[in-house]
Amino acid sequence: MAAAANHSATGIRIDLKIISEMVEDGSRVLDVGCGDGELLAFLQARRHADGRGMELSMSGVQRAVARGLAVIQGDADTDLADYPDGAFDYVILSKTLQATHNPRAVVEQMLRIGRHAIVSFPNFAHWRTRLDLLLHGRMPVNDLLPYSWYETPNIHFCTIRDFTDLCRDLGVRVKDSLALDAAGEVQRFTADSRWANLLAVDAVFLLEK
């Protein structure tokens, strides 16, 4: 939903590769908003994961199903409630949080049905976004944030600091957090790092209840 579709040497989006490295081998994984199943297929092949997916768009579901993946058509905002407690080792939400109606409830659901949650999102506090808004006084539209305000599916943008605050409010432990800069370089940062909030294009959080 956001840009920065950098790809790693393995051909998979870098943020997806980072996520896959957080997943222990042989885990049960639910990928919420799995698109055509790129990450799930990668996790099954490389991490021997027992993967499940949820995706809103029918075309995404069909492409994922055609890859032999177990993907259901569903909405993160409403359908996570259908899963039993502790059904998964990891519940993943990659670059989808900002498009949900109730991000807080979604994160809570993720940690109800999974032992861990992995959340990646575009960081709205990136310096270019800040500068854009400061200089032009308009909602930023650029290669990182390609939609105009009136048509964006991204209705709940947040910054790294915002998300860190949410985790604290929910009593959720941040087990790991990584920042990606514009060059696709990965930096490990601490939750209160001002530097990451300024330089990170994307952030990936590994959470635990």
Partner 1 sequence: MKRTNATLSGEDLRRRLNAVEASVRLYDAEPLALDSGARFGPVDVAYQTYGRLNAAKSNAVVVCHALTGDHYAALPHPVTGKSGWWSSLIGPGRVIDTDRYFVVCSNVLGGCMGTTGPKSADPATGEPYMLGFPVITVADMVRVQVKLLDHLGIAQAFAAIGGSMGGMQVLEWASRYPERVFCALPVATCARYSAQNIAFDEVGRQAIMADPEWCGGRYLLEGRNPHKGLAVARMAAHITYLSETALTRKFGRKLQDREKIGYGFDADFEVESYLRHQGSTFVERFDANSYLYITRAMDYFDMPGEHDGHLSHAFRHTPVHFCVVSFSSDWLFPTRDSQAIVRALNAAAASVSFVEVQSDKGHDAFLLDEPEFHDTVAGFLAGMAERRGLSFATEED
Task: Tell me the three state secondary structure of residue 167.
Answer: helix
Rounded Cα distance between 141 and 62, Å, is 31
Judged by beta carbon, residue 50 or residue 181, the one nearer partner 1 is 50
Q: How far is the CB of 71 from partner 1 (least distance, A)?
A: 5
Pairing relation of β-strands 202-208 and 114-122?
antiparallel
Task: Tell me the three state secondary structure of residue 63.
Answer: helix
H helix runs in 89-204, sequence order: 103-113, 127-136, 160-170, 194-199
Q: If binding is defined by CB under 8 A, does position 171 make contact with partner 1?
A: no
Q: If binding is defined by CB under 8 A, does position 65 make contact with partner 1?
A: yes
Judged by beta carbon, residue 70 or residue 105, the one nearer partner 1 is 70
**How many alpha carbons fall within 13 Å on the CB side of residue 185?**
6
Q: If binding is defined by CB under 8 A, does position 70 make contact with partner 1?
A: yes
Judged by beta carbon, residue 12 or residue 61, the one nearer partner 1 is 61
Residue 174 exposed, middle or buried by CB count within 10 Å (0-12, 13-18, 19+): middle
Judged by beta carbon, residue 72 or residue 166, the one nearer partner 1 is 72
Question: Between residue 84 and residue 143, which ones bind partner 1 under the rule CB under 8 A?
Answer: 84, 87
Judged by beta carbon, residue 88 or residue 205, the one nearer partner 1 is 88
- Name the DSSP class of 84: P
Site for partner 1 (CB under 8 A): which residue of 9, 25, 58, 137? 58
Q: How far is the CB of 12 from partner 1 (least distance, A)?
A: 19
Q: Which stretches of the chain bind partner 1, using CB under 8 A?
A: 28, 52, 58, 61-74, 82-84, 87
